[in-house]
């Protein structure tokens, strides 16, 4: 299937998301923060990125905006996966260039549906 980079500062969330994606036959590479994310993406060449929003340092909204503003990464879909579930948060995610938005807590099928939509 696809190669997916997951970025989340919660180890438990990383493990859960990774498990769901691997069960759906995706290859998964995980990172605990957005530090040097662009360098990591250059070397990993993912088909999609699943990223938390609330993280120390550069948050998911900022990282998404940075990726979408960079010619090298603008065509890689980003699915934001976050506890920020207000309509204004979802709208802001879209404004940053996110291709999907999943609100925690979520079911495996919600995440997989968002990933499938973003990849198509």
CA dist 57 and 114 (Å) reads: 26
Q: Which residues touch 68 (CB under 8 Å, ≥6 apart)? A: 74, 78, 96, 97
Q: How confident is the model at residue 1 (pLDDT cuts 50, 70, 90)?
A: confident
Q: What per-residue confidence (pLDDT) applies to 14?
A: 96
Cβ 41 vs Cβ 6: under 8 Å = no
Question: Which residues make beta-bridge pairs with 78?
Answer: 49
Give the mean model confidence (pLDDT) for residues 77-88.
Answer: 96
pLDDT above 90 coverage of the chain, percent = 99
- Which structure tokens are listed for 106? 């979520």
Q: What is the mean pLDDT of the chain?
A: 97
Give the mean model confidence (pLDDT) for residues 55-84.
Answer: 97
Q: What per-residue confidence (pLDDT) applies to 71?
A: 97
Give the mean model confidence (pLDDT) for residues 85-91.
Answer: 95
**CATH superfamily of this structure's domain 3-119:** Response regulator (3.40.50.2300)
What digits encode the pLDDT tens for the residues 5-62? 999 999 999 999 999 999 999 999 999 999 999 999 999 999 999 999 999 999 999 9
């Amino acid at each position: 299937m696809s190669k997916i980079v997951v970025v989340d500062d919660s180890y438990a969330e990383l493990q859960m998301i990774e498990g769901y994606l691997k069960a759906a036959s995706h290859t998964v590479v995980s990172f605990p923060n957005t530090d040097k994310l662009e360098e990591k993406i250059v070397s990993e060449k993912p088909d999609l990125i699943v990223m938390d929003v609330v993280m120390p340092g550069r948050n998911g909204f900022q990282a998404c905006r940075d990726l979408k503003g960079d010619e090298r990464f603008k065509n890689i879909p980003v699915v934001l996966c976050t506890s920020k579930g207000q309509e204004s948060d979802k709208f802001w995610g879209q404004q940053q260039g996110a291709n999907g938005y999943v609100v925690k807590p979520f079911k495996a099928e919600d995440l997989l549906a968002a990933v499938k939509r973003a990849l198509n």
